[in-house]
Structure 1
Amino acid sequence: MERWIRRARPGLLLAATAVLVSFGLHWLVPAVPVMSFAVVLGILAANVPPTAARISGAGQPGLTFCARTLMRAGIVLLGARLALSDLAELGWFALVLVVLVLLLAFAGTYLLARWHRLPGDQPVLLAAGFAICGASAIGAIAAARGSRAQDSLMPVALVTLCGTLAIGVLPAVMALTGMPAQVFGFWAGASVHDVGQVVATAQSAGTAALTIAVVVKLARVVMLAPLAAAVAVHRRHAAKATRARGTGSEGKQPPVVPLFILGFLALVLLRSTGWLPQPVLNGTALVQEILLAAALFGLGSAVRLRELLRSSLPAISTALLSWLLIAGLGLGAAWLAMAGG
């Protein structure tokens, strides 16, 4: 343990510094979420000569720990944001619309990524990130699927880019069209990727829009658990089939449902009981944001821009088309939900 701490210390210190800087930048520019700054800082640190050598050298063990273990811990704590009573307030019609948007966005993004011939697990990771909850979903599905770390880099960068883009574009569309605040809130919650980005987008239209946006977004986040469980079960069956054909090893089987997803569900249920006081919920939300910021800095620090740009045009095209797809689906669902309500 002591040896591991010595090896991980440089990377953990880098991540801690990046988290502090990200919170400071967010304080200066509240419209941009902490986690967006963390990803950008990680990419910059990995590609600027003064820090690049340290990132790829002494800092690597600690940053790898952040990108994997702290990501899973942050996803577990994300469950404390969800209460089943919040979802019930939406009503069955709005919930059905949210689930339909999510499924169509997932399928559409996956097909776009396959059409662009993106390699490895990038299609399913991009689909999860764009359809559910940004980088958190990418981390959860990558862990459930056993994806290579390299496959997560492009999806995380693109979902962060497009989610940040939405912070400026969606309020501009609302202003130009005179869109009602409630419709805008539902639209933001149904189509913007990360929770922080949803808040930053919806708050520009006032409290009513922000309240609806957060509830709709949380309805999408709760779908992370069944999707990750389905991916884990599929991976387990695929491993069994491979061994049955005699083409795979008899290694340890992946769990039916990853432990961090069970932790996520446990916190959802605990939050739904109402037993957790508000100060505990506030503290949990802060810790979750810190953990995910450190994890995203770790993921960003693995991005090498020269290699990324060499093969990024198909992925960028997929991301932009997916962004337009989910924005269109979310807007249609928002008008239907308000009309039905």
Structure 2
Amino acid sequence: MSIRHRTPTLGTAELLPGLALCAVGTAVAIGINRLMPTVSPLLIAIVAGAVVANTVALPARVRPGVQFSAKRLLRIGIALLGLQLMLGDILALGWGVIVMVIAIVGLGIVGTMYAGARLGLSWTQRLLIACGFSICGAAAVAAVDGVVDADEEEVVTAVALVVVFGTAMIPVIPLLATATGLSDTQAGLWAGGSIHEVAQVVAAGGAIGGGALAVAVVVKLARVLMLAPVMAVLSVRQRRADTRTDVTRPPLIPLFVLAFLACVALRSTGAVPDFVLADAKLVQTALLTAAMFALGAGVHVATIRKVGIRPVVLALISTVWVATIAFVGVLAL
């Protein structure tokens, strides 16, 4: 059971060193992305953060700012991600696809949780991997951590696994789609329904070609929308599980989830000017890139070795399981 204690508020001076480091990491990742547009700055940032953490002894004074970036900045970025979603686009997919998305997320989480239990992994480690692989990658991992307060090594392990297995899916899904005779639209549905990160879906959809990219992105964003109800359910569970009065319980619905839904609703009205959406996307990308760098800075090789092979096995099982559900859904449609 998770117990959430109150933490002291840090001053700006304490946060600055870590924030400056994440800002540099963000600038580098976005700069590389400008040179290589097909590679997401978020993925670059995670890798860059991990490289820095494993090659340089970071001073203790950067830790508060890095942790702030990994939690607070990421939640703001997730909220702004809602401005990319229009309910009309998702409803336009048709009820069959919407049911498929719900099945992917629901069955993906349940199946991964069951497999993780059989492997003897902790509840929080299973949940981080299940939501990360079934919903929207590293952002979902961090969102779950914001509700259940998992151990740091469990969070960084789940993030690292999302990067490794999600990236591996980029060439695999187009190849399998061709081998199984799927049309471009079907392949796009499969990519959007099975790959972990939005950026990874974009890369795979672009590789498939035709009309696959647009379909893949909308299906993936429909999975992202599932983040809100899943986080609400987890939050209610945590409140019921923790009956103590001397601890701070998670809110009934986390604030960043409410902000995410508000952004979705705002975008769906069509009242937000295009230039505002463009600027918001730049801010969202910068915030999420900084957060991914911070999460990557927590990925230490020694930590991955410490957790052992079982999370890796669960990540493989979850990847295959979610992809299978999505594939069956595409064929059923």
What range is the shorter-chain TM-score in? over 0.9
Structure 1 distance, partners of 2:149, 2:253, is: 12
Match of 1:22 in 2: 29
Are 2:14 and 1:12 aligned? Answer: no
Q: Which moves more between the two structures, 180-189 or 141-150? A: 141-150
Structure 1 distance, partners of 2:133, 2:24, is: 28
Match of 2:218 in 1: 215
Out of 263, 266, 269, the residue aligned to residue 267 of structure 1 is 263
Match of 1:246 in 2: none
Equivalent position amino acid for 1:17 in 2: V
Q: Are the counterparts in 1 of residues 235 and 251 from structure 2 also a CA contact under 8 Å?
A: yes
1:177-192 maps to which residues of 2 (within 5 A)? 177-192=180-195
TM-score of the superposed pair, with normalisation by structure 2: 0.93
Q: Which moves more between the two structures, 278-287 or 79-88? A: 278-287
Out of 309, 323, 326, the residue aligned to residue 327 of structure 1 is 323
Are 2:275 and 1:279 aligned? Answer: yes
* Offset at residue 223 of structure 1 (A): 0.7
Structure 1 distance, partners of 2:114, 2:35, is: 39
Equivalent position amino acid for 1:107 in 2: V
Out of 125, 128, 132, the residue aligned to residue 135 of structure 2 is 132
* Offset at residue 172 of structure 1 (A): 2.2
* Offset at residue 66 of structure 1 (A): 0.3
* Offset at residue 120 of structure 1 (A): 5.2
Q: Are the counterparts in 1 of residues 85 and 221 from structure 2 also a CA contact under 8 Å?
A: yes
Are 2:107 and 1:111 aligned? Answer: no
Unaligned runs of 5+ in 2: 1-9
Structure 2 distance, partners of 1:199, 1:137, is: 18
Q: Which moves more between the two structures, 57-66 or 22-31? A: 22-31
Structure 2 distance, partners of 1:323, 1:29, is: 27
Structure 1 distance, partners of 2:94, 2:154, is: 37
Q: Which moves more between the two structures, 177-186 or 65-74? A: 177-186
Report SS of the residue matched to 2:57: helix
* Offset at residue 147 of structure 1 (A): 2.6
Match of 1:52 in 2: 57
Match of 2:228 in 1: 225
Match of 1:302 in 2: 298
Distance 1:31 1:170, change over 3 A: farther
Q: Are the counterparts in 2 of residues 144 and 229 from structure 1 also a CA contact under 8 Å?
A: no
Q: Are the counterparts in 2 of residues 31 and 167 from structure 1 also a CA contact under 8 Å?
A: no
* Offset at residue 17 of structure 1 (A): 1.1
C-alpha deviations, 1:151-194, integer Å up to 9, x for none?
A: 21111110111111111211222344443100110001100111
C-alpha deviations, 1:104-148, integer Å up to 9, x for none?
A: 111111112222222351111110000000011111111122333
Q: Which moves more between the two structures, 27-36 or 135-144? A: 27-36
* Offset at residue 300 of structure 1 (A): 1.4
Out of 149, 154, 157, the residue aligned to residue 152 of structure 2 is 149
Q: Are the counterparts in 1 of residues 153 and 303 from structure 2 also a CA contact under 8 Å?
A: no
Equivalent position amino acid for 2:226 in 1: M
Structure 2 distance, partners of 1:36, 1:279, is: 26
Match of 2:314 in 1: 318
Match of 2:73 in 1: 70
Q: Are the counterparts in 2 of residues 144 and 228 from structure 1 also a CA contact under 8 Å?
A: yes
Q: Are the counterparts in 2 of residues 26 and 32 from structure 1 also a CA contact under 8 Å?
A: yes
Q: Which moves more between the two structures, 183-192 or 251-260? A: 251-260
Structure 1 distance, partners of 2:193, 2:27, is: 30
Equivalent position amino acid for 1:100 in 2: A
* Offset at residue 289 of structure 1 (A): 1.5
Q: Are the counterparts in 2 of residues 109 and 318 from structure 1 also a CA contact under 8 Å?
A: yes
* Offset at residue 86 of structure 1 (A): 0.8
Q: Which moves more between the two structures, 120-129 or 143-152? A: 143-152
Q: Are the counterparts in 2 of residues 35 and 292 from structure 1 also a CA contact under 8 Å?
A: yes
Q: Which moves more between the two structures, 67-76 or 280-289? A: 280-289
Structure 1 distance, partners of 2:193, 2:94, is: 15
CA RMSD of aligned residues (A): 1.8
Match of 2:41 in 1: 34
Are 2:247 and 1:251 aligned? Answer: yes
Structure 2 distance, partners of 1:308, 1:10, is: 26
Unaligned runs of 5+ in 1: 244-248
* Offset at residue 275 of structure 1 (A): 0.5
Q: How many residues align?
A: 326
Structure 1 distance, partners of 2:164, 2:261, is: 29
TM-score of the superposed pair, with normalisation by structure 1: 0.91
Equivalent position amino acid for 1:52 in 2: A
Equivalent position amino acid for 2:185 in 1: Q
Structure 1 distance, partners of 2:209, 2:74, is: 31
Structure 1 distance, partners of 2:227, 2:65, is: 27
